Amino acid sequence: MLARLRAAYPDCDADEAEALLGFFDLKHRLSDWDAQTTAPSPRVDKLWQTFALHTRAYAEFCAAFGPGVFFHYRPRAAQEPEHSMRYAATRWWMSQTHAAFAPFFWPEEKKDAWWEREFEESVSLEPEPSLTPTQKRARGSD
């Protein structure tokens, strides 16, 4: 499976591929198709998100786990209240079941969670000012 992952996702280096494959292996063992049980680390999440953008290669990779297998990526899962619990459990499962467990890819969660910072930075609570038609055309948003 590692060779299949590296072939499908050549931008992923060997350590990244090992961490991502370990996560998919755990998801498969737990039948976590819809990301309801496990939660990736920030690094693994970025790798998964990028890999999922290569739709054909990603679908073929998932299917290699068995007929009908597809690991659905949910981009807002990290903002759910259960995420911290899922991440802690996933980190523990990974440390217990994968010989290649790398703490670099699975850091202990900090109180100031990465997804809270990213979400706060990406969402503005201030209303966007009204633009004139000339300003809209200049922005290319008419």
**What do you get for the CA distance between the two ends of the chain, in Å?**
47
Block mean pLDDT (10 aa), the chain, length 142:
78 85 92 91 90 91 92 88 88 83 79 51 51 67 52
Task: Write out the two tokens for 8.
Answer: 């499908």
pLDDT digits (tens, 9 = 90+) for 85-118: 899 899 988 888 877 678 888 888 765 455 555 5
Domain ranges (residues) in the chain: 2-103
CA–CA–CA angle 9, 102, 80 (5° rounding): 75
CA–CA–CA angle 48, 50, 53 (5° rounding): 105
Return phi, psi of residue 70, to 5°. -150, 125
